Structure 1
Amino acid sequence: MAESLYIPTAASKAEKYEAILPQVEALIQGESDTYANLANVAAVLKEAFGFFWVGFYLVKGEQLVLGPFQGPLACTRIGFGKGVCGTAWKEAKTHLVPDVEAFPGHIACSSASKSEIVVPGFREGKVWIVLDVDSDRLDDFDQDDVAYLEQLMAIVDSQA
């Protein structure tokens, strides 16, 4: 795929996801470098939706370590079960957080972050990565984000 992206401008969130998912798959298909793929996926999400922060944390031992991302500076390491990302890793499930201040143990990498969604990725049945998406608005994510970002992570998992 060329280094271009089609994002419908007058479209619903679901329609934007429907447009970008096959493009992401084509973009990363055949590329063997995981970091290059993750960087492009983060860029696609940032460009398509204008999220405040979007990126990946990779499981390394008992910590999540910052991987490719788009947005302001981020926490470099997150412990197992700590914050939203560490909890999504520990529980091996997506976490949708309408107000990060209300999440017990939230790690404030940026005080501008107001809501968050974290989606784990799996290899051989174990979490190997989490996708972290932050918004600077409260309650900015919904079940459409859950469904489509889980589909996106399935694409990432299949290509990584």
Structure 2
Amino acid sequence: MSFENLKPEVLKIVRNSEISEKQRLTEVCNLLQTTIAYYDWVGFYFANYEGKTLHLETFAGLPTNHAVIPFGKGICGQVAESNANFVVPDVEAQDNYIACSISVKAEIVIPLFKNGKNIGQIDVDSNTIDPFTKEDEVFLVWLNEEVTKIL
């Protein structure tokens, strides 16, 4: 399914006010993880600025031991500090990488902004080396813009 075809599906989930915000985020994760072949794990982390940590709220894929990530640690922690998208074609080439699974080969992390503040991020892991394109990045930025409307 193309990203353009996924957009109405995402909007249908995000705009479903009959279920909780957390359930909507979980359904978005499930949609992406089951629809896009190289999205093997999808999760939303949210920032705790007092503790300078990220907390995993919802995800689809195998469970991870990394439910709390300090700012600056790993790809997600770096995005919490940089406020910038981070695409990692090959995780083995990264010095500051936290392995969530030995099968993960690539990662893309896009920050979530609410009223100009980085409140969290969407994290996507792939078991394929270098699968992410500019289209993935553009789609995930759009998705995050839609998600922040319900937060």
5+ residue gaps, structure 1, are: 1-7, 9-15
**TM-score, with normalisation over the residues of structure 2?**
0.91
User: What amino acid does structure 2 have at the position aligned with 1:122?
Assistant: F
Task: Note the 1:118-137 alignment, pairs <5 A.
Answer: 118-137=109-128
Instruction: Tell me, in whole angstroms, the C-alpha distance in 1 between the residues paired with 2:103 and 2:28.
Output: 23
SS at 1:46's partner residue?
A: helix
Segments of 4+ moved more than 3 angstroms: none
Shift in Å at residue 142 of structure 1?
1.2
Indicate the RMSD between aligned Cα atoms, in angstroms: 1.3
User: What amino acid does structure 2 have at the position aligned with 1:66?
Assistant: L
**Percent identical residues:** 34
Task: Note the 1:23-102 alignment, pairs <5 A.
Answer: 23-31=9-17, 33-50=20-37, 51-61=39-49, 62-74=52-64, 75-102=66-93
Instruction: Tell me, in whole angstroms, the C-alpha distance in 2 between the residues paired with 1:82 and 1:88.
Output: 9
Instruction: Tell me, in whole angstroms, the C-alpha distance in 1 between the residues paired with 2:87 and 2:79.
Output: 10
User: What amino acid does structure 1 have at the position aligned with 2:84?
Assistant: K
User: What amino acid does structure 2 have at the position aligned with 1:53?
Assistant: W
5+ residue gaps, structure 2, are: none
Cα 1:30/1:53, change in 2 over 3 Å: closer
Matched length = 146
Shift in Å at residue 30 of structure 1?
4.6
**TM-score, with normalisation over the residues of structure 1?**
0.86
